[in-house]
Amino acid sequence: MSTTATAQKTVKFSILRQDSPTSAPYEEKFEIPYRPNMNVISALMEIRRNPVDADGKDTTPITWDMNCLEEVCGACSMVINGRPRQSCTALVDQLEQPIRLEPMKTFPVVRDLQVDRSRMFDSLKKVKAWIPIDGTYDLGPGPRMPEKKRQWAYELSKCMTCGVCLESCPNVNSKSNFIGPAPLSQVRLFNAHPTGALNKHERLNSIMDDGGLANCGNSQNCVQACPKGIPLTTSIAALNRDTAIQSFRNFFGSDQI
């Protein structure tokens, strides 16, 4: 492609905007100059640099979240051409135009493409997705994990709390308190850790309540949508077995596994 042809080429966007959490959403169209190797983030930056819509009218800059720009933090998740994904790895050359950008619907909109993912983070608190230590003294090196277990546990640790699996899950919505696939998979991850297993029964009991494991409809959308390829449905299947055992232990009066 010649330099002249590249300069004349443009990229068209249709962006669903919202000025505040309580205002009505509206569509706004943009057309920006094409550059080789553009991703959605760089296109949004161009719009922010010169906030003029496709009709040449001045408008306000687009608001969205971003951080690492290399698909590690999960902050830049949005719905791109109907599919929830990270905008930093969404290449313009691979997208059908006009490129449609929308905020994820699972989470409350803050403004434009920026959403409040507190629902997911609160769920991680509920399932105690951490290894509790008080930090008062040096515990020394932790216990070693068997290599086979370490390999699959590492796959679960790739979760970046992007929210894409929750967005794709039909059971996570405003009428349901289902915590979603990501927090459930983190229960399996931390229960697999030798130190984390000390609180295994607490995590299992937390997902046996309303909004937990029983609310999963087994649609398997989550494992298809996960940008890190995390075996979410495998974790859910394993947790079904673990919670069944835990329920028997609860019945017979033993809260430890």
What are the residue boundaries of the structural domains of the chain, listed by start? 9-115, 118-251
What CATH topology corresponds to 118-251?
Fumarate Reductase Iron-sulfur Protein; Chain B, domain 2 (1.10.1060)
pLDDT at 141: 80
Q: Residue 170 above 90 pLDDT?
A: yes
Amino acid at 53: D
Q: How much is the mean pLDDT over the chain?
A: 92
pLDDT tens for each residue of 204-253: 999 998 999 999 999 999 999 999 999 999 999 999 999 999 999 999 88
The greatest distance separating any two alpha carbons of the chain, rounded to the nearest whole angstrom, comes to 77
The beta strands (E) that lie in the chain are given as 10-17, 26-33, 77-80, 83-86, 99-102, 109-111, 114-115
Q: What is the CATH number of domain 9-115?
A: 3.10.20.30
Percent of the chain with pLDDT over 90: 83
pLDDT at 6: 47
Amino acid at 114: Q
How sure is the predictor about 142, in pLDDT bands with cuts at 50, 70 and 90?
confident
| HSE, side-chain direction, 13 A CA sphere, residue 130 | 10
**77-87 average pLDDT score:** 97
Amino acid at 21: P
Token representation of residue 63: 């608001």
pLDDT at 135: 77
Instruction: Decide the pairing of beta strands 10-17 and 99-102.
Output: parallel
Gyration radius from the chain CA atoms: 22
Token representation of residue 172: 């996570």
Q: Residue 2 above 50 pLDDT?
A: no
SS3 101: strand
SS3 46: helix
